[in-house]
Amino acid sequence: MTLSPTSPFSSSSTRVRSSLPRSLPSLTTLTPQPPTSRATEKASPTSLSPSYIVKKKGVPDLTMVDLPGITRVPVHGQPENIYEQISDIIMKYITPKESIILNVLSATVDFPTCESIRMSQCVDKPGQRTLAVVTKVDKAPEGLLEKVTSDDVNIGLGYVCVRNRVGNETYEEARAEEKRLFRENPLLLAMEKSIVGVDMLAHKLTQIQATGISKCLPEIQRKINRKLDRYTAELNQMPEILSTLADALRAFMRILSAAKESLRKLLIRGDFEEFPEDLDFHATTRVFNMHEKYSQQLPSQYPIFEEEFLMEEIGVLEENTSICLPNFLGRSAFQAILKKKLKLVADAPRDHVIDVWRYIEDVVTRVLLLHSVNFPQLQSSIRAAAHNVIDKMRKRSLHTVKEIIEMEMAADYTSNPYYTMRWNELMKGQGAFKESIDDHTKPTTLELDGIGIVEVGHLRCYGDMAVMAFDLRMRMMVYWNIVMLRLIDGMALHVVFNIKRLVEDEMEEEIAKNLVGEDMTGLGKMMEESTSIAARRVRLKTSIKLLKDPSKYWPRFVTAVPALSNK
């Protein structure tokens, strides 16, 4: 832990720090560049970056930030918002809770009126991390004891009164004069030794640092142990270094077996425990959703695009007339309408299988790449193999879809008893329909089961052909439901069967052929550890070593830091 006491907000901070003894632990002094150069009195841009660093090897690091003094009125070309700029700099460094605010106050001023006190109280109202350094005590010793003991401004870490170095005094001379001042000045004699002198300031800063570190030690140790455990586990999970073809073959079979089991869970069993949050991997659900969407795309009702009832059927009957028995419904008319209607939906099953296999390819590829992540040299071949096998399955499905549509067009058949039962129900309305056609005194509107209210007046001129058209419409309505059900159920069975076939048979064969090959080139690649994996292995080993090394010194360090804070 680095303790970061933030130094005062006035320019006198420089003089205090320059008087700190050489016994003080290393001070890393970070000084944001003030908005005006004191040497040239020319305006310069305000910078939040540290500009001066002093370190001492072998001692604890104590970072101090020398913040610029507060300026309310711009001078010598300073920007109009100089106060806001400096306030922002100060607040940036004093806001973090781990920072200690070293508030330098002149003995000549009234503490509650100081702008620096107001700003520090904005971020540390109880004063728990604020330490006050009172300078120029030799200039205004009157009433100083009462000021620092009454603590009207909540300085939680207490006060330290110091004498500034004057002129060309050496460090030793300044300290001697300081001791003489507090020893001989009658107004300062009553001050406790624990709140006077630069040496005491250095001691307090060291104690604050040690106390802060000691509070953080248990959590630091826990974080180190957690990181060590994580890195060790990660190193153990890395692939072993393969030295023979037999080792490479075993590793390859482990990858293939693990990927196959994952795909069984995702694509066949619907077990998503490996990827509970990634919905894209919930394959059985996604495929079901695709099938539902496909089912909704197919018209559940017999599609009709005519303006007048039965005119489509009459047109087909007229075009399929031949020399035959009267009132005989020929198969050619039925098939002509069936083919016409099937062409309307022929693209839906084709698009459905394309979408399904596109999704399956994504899942299969991602699973294979996840299981082969330790062998990046194989992943391009794995991706190509996955694409090849899915492409083969896609072409097979498209061929099946084409055959299904062609079979439906070639033959009109069903053994489903629903066809005869429902057709008989619909044909019960044929008598009323024929009566409305033959008897011109009857109303020209008629309500039919499965259709609703229809206008039949325009059909009276067609006579028996209208009755045949009625029969054809009823047959088509019933048979259409059966065809749609076959397209829905058939596609579902086809997709499920071929996904299982892919996982259990096709995938393993294709990947083995692409990756291993007859000359074992793929296995040879596995024996060549990639630079990224090798670098990762070295990095993990280095990190583990660095985390283990401090453990040897940890007990001594844990004992030493509290002892330092109690001195």
- Residue 398 above 70 pLDDT? yes
Judged by DSSP in three states, 133 sits in strand
pLDDT at 23: 39
Task: Mean pLDDT check: name the lowest of 283-297, 365-379, 404-418, 538-552.
Answer: 538-552
305 or 338: which leads in pLDDT:
338
* Interval 171-193 mean pLDDT: 88
In degrees and rounded to multiples of 5, residue 336 shows phi and psi of -60, -45
pLDDT at 21: 42
* Distance (Å, whole) CA 320 – CA 82: 97
Among candidate residues 123, 534, 471, the one with its CA nearest the CA of residue 330: 471
Please report, to the nearest 10 degrees, the dihedral formed by the alpha carbons of residues 98, 104, 107, 112 taken in order: -60
Q: 448 pLDDT band (50/70/90 cuts)? A: very high
> For residue range 47-88, what is the model confidence (pLDDT) as tens digits?
555 555 566 665 555 567 777 777 778 777 788 888 888 888
Q: Which residues contact 548 (CB under 8 A, 6 or more apart)?
A: 228
Place of tokens 């005119």: 311
pLDDT at 235: 85
Q: 194 pLDDT band (50/70/90 cuts)? A: confident
| Residue 511 burial (CB count, 10 A) | 27
User: Is the distance from CB of 302 to CB of 341 less than 8 angstroms?
Assistant: yes
- Residue 10 above 50 pLDDT? no
* Distance (Å, whole) CA 537 – CA 235: 7
* Interval 299-311 mean pLDDT: 90
Judged by DSSP in three states, 63 sits in strand
Task: Mean pLDDT check: name the lowest of 25-29, 91-95, 317-321, 481-485.
Answer: 25-29
- The structure tokens listed for 71 are 């300026």
Q: 517 pLDDT band (50/70/90 cuts)? A: low
User: Is the distance from CB of 125 to CB of 154 less than 8 angstroms?
Assistant: yes
pLDDT at 53: 58
- Residue 497 above 60 pLDDT? yes
Q: 6 pLDDT band (50/70/90 cuts)? A: very low
User: Is the distance from CB of 137 to CB of 111 less than 8 angstroms?
Assistant: no
* Interval 189-201 mean pLDDT: 87
Place of tokens 């990858």: 255
* Interval 190-205 mean pLDDT: 87
492 or 548: which leads in pLDDT:
492
> For residue range 523-564, what is the model confidence (pLDDT) as tens digits?
766 667 777 777 888 898 888 888 887 666 566 665 655 555
Q: Indicate the average pLDDT of the chain.
A: 82
Q: Which residues contact 326 (CB under 8 A, 6 or more apart)?
A: 464
* Interval 186-204 mean pLDDT: 87
* Interval 214-224 mean pLDDT: 80
Among candidate residues 520, 234, 230, the one with its CA nearest the CA of residue 374: 234
* Interval 287-299 mean pLDDT: 96
Range picked from 33-37, 175-179, 270-274 for highest mean pLDDT: 270-274
- The structure tokens listed for 528 are 């060549």
Domains along the chain with CATH numbers: 4-217 (3.40.50.300), 245-413+496-526 (1.20.120.1240)
- For the chain, percent of residues with pLDDT exceeding 70: 82
pLDDT at 127: 85
pLDDT at 11: 32
> For residue range 122-180, what is the model confidence (pLDDT) as tens digits?
888 888 888 899 988 988 888 888 888 888 888 888 899 999 888 888 888 889 988 99
> For residue range 411-445, what is the model confidence (pLDDT) as tens digits?
999 999 999 999 999 999 999 999 999 999 999 99
pLDDT at 207: 83
